[in-house]
Amino acid sequence: MKSPSHSPQGRRPDPRRADGARPGKPPARNPTRVAALALLTAVLERHRPMEEALDALPPSDPRDRAAAHRIAAAVLRRLGSLDAVLEPFLRREPPPEVRQVLRIGAAELLLLATPPHAAVASCVDLVPRPFAGLVNAVLRKVGAEGAAALEDLDGERLDTPGWLWTAWHKAYGPGVRAIARAHRLPAPLDLSLKAGTALPEGAVLLPTGTVRLPAGTRITELPAFIEGAAWAQDAAAALPARLLAARAGERVADLCAAPGGKTAQLAATGAEVVAVERDPTRILRLRENLARLGLDARVVQGDATEWDPGHRFDAILLDAPCSATGTIRRHPDVPYLKRPTDIPTLAGLQGPMLAHAAKLLAPGGRLVFATCSLQPEEGEAQAANPPAGLLPDPIRAEEVPGLEGAITPEGWLRTRPDLWEEHGGMDGFFMARFRAAE
């Protein structure tokens, strides 16, 4: 008679689980998924920006960090749809940590083409043991039935928080769907280059002069970046400085200057640039970026509503603090960090900043007001009521090749994420230009 501890073939059964771990011994958790879970927890439960959470992660392989960011970003871009797919397979709401893990698994299975076994096993290992069976069962069902369910959903609506959908529908009508579609895709890498720098291999030169590379390109591996000849800057974000058209020798102020992309553009013209920033932490980043690029600008700490150097400027760029809803394609955490009440609060700050900037202009001087927001309260409403002494200076079609349709009847520029869809889109920005009375 064979011992009951033996299989019918006379061999002991392998005590390891299918993923190789032994019973009673905690499995080794995948570092990429651990980091992705930390990022989602930071954004959705603690309301911290994902970049800040990424910086706070323990030291790890840069590829693990990049992969974790990719997973977390995919979840945030399609959060509503992923929850809708998961819902039929959950009898009750799981604890927050388990919910985040299920979202990670669903994103990997349905959006990121992760092999099913790897996606399911790594997520099972992330949760406390009492929930391992639940995660295993739910994700197996998602793998089998989720793709068809995802296709049937109104993803554009589900993946956009209700208050933003309502605001954008009011502002842009049916265009809200095109905006929502653009937010579901990873943004390409956009670069500004110093004059004379060769285009990186595989790059495309956009009509406005920005250089574009595919999404996922590692900027730190590009020779132009390593040599201090390039910096990351969305095609729309590069436009305000272009529209200011600073010239060598002019006195130029960049208010609210960090992290420094626009300051770098202005300094590269040969203008005498003063970069003003209130936040000391952001000043450090501003200085680091200028030093890496070898560009000269005087950096000062100051509040844009009251700073006064005692002289006037030929040109001023005011990229005012805002809700940043125009940058969601690059920062998919934004919809989950902002609230409807933030909009009037931020708009209330922008008006005084614009009024003070107007006082710093020399007679005939130029001012560009910009916000990276899709909310009209933070753009069109501000430009419609400029401070006394500021005269409209309409943007001309030849200044923004390929974006002629983005010029408003008032001569302002309104970009949206769905513009240049064939090129990969752009951030949502508002820009208005003024001149000081002579």
DSSP string of 271-328? -EEEEEES-HHHHHHHHHHHHHHT---EEEE--TTT---SS-EEEEEEE-----GGGT
Which tokens hold the place of 405? 């349709």
Whether 322 has a binding-site annotation, put simply, is no
The reply to whether 310 sits in an annotated binding site is: no
Separation CA 381–CA 193 (nearest Å): 33
Q: Where are the alpha helices (DSSP H) in 78-187?
A: 79-86, 96-110, 116-124, 132-151, 155-158, 162-172, 175-183
* Token pair 């501000």: residue: 382
Do 391 and 437 touch, CB atoms closer than 8 A?
yes
Token pair belonging to 177? 């769907």
Backbone angles phi, psi at 433, to 5 degrees: -115, 140
Tell me which residue has tokens 């019918």: 8
Query: Does 372 qualify as catalytic in the annotation?
Result: yes
Query: Is residue 249 within 8 Å of residue 279, measured between CB atoms?
Result: no
Known binding residue 401? Answer is no
User: Would you say 381 is a known binding-site residue?
Assistant: no
Alpha carbons 83 and 164: distance in angstroms, whole number: 19
For β-strands 251-255 and 272-277, DSSP reports them as: parallel
74 Cα distance to chain centroid: 12
> Of 35, 67, 176, 372, which one is the catalytic site residue?
372
Q: How many CA atoms lie within 13 A of 2 on its CB side?
A: 9
Q: Is 151 annotated as a binding residue?
A: no
Q: Is 26 exposed, middle or buried (0-12, 13-18, 19+ CB in 10 A)?
A: exposed
Task: Tell whether 262 is in a known binding site.
Answer: yes
Is 260 annotated as contributing to ligand binding? Answer: yes
Region of residue 403 (left: phi > 0; alpha: psi -120 to 50; beta: else): alpha
User: In sequence order, what are the beta bridge partners of 430?
Assistant: 371, 414
Distance CA 236, CA 327 (A): 10
Alpha-carbon distance values, 163 to 20, 324, 375, 405, 425 (Å): 46, 15, 11, 27, 23
SS3 128: coil
Q: Is 209 annotated as a binding residue?
A: no
Point out the residues that are catalytic. Answer: 372
Question: Can you say which residues are annotated as belonging to the binding site for S-adenosyl-L-methionine?
Answer: 256-262, 277, 303, 319
Annotated binding-site positions = 256-262, 277, 303, 319
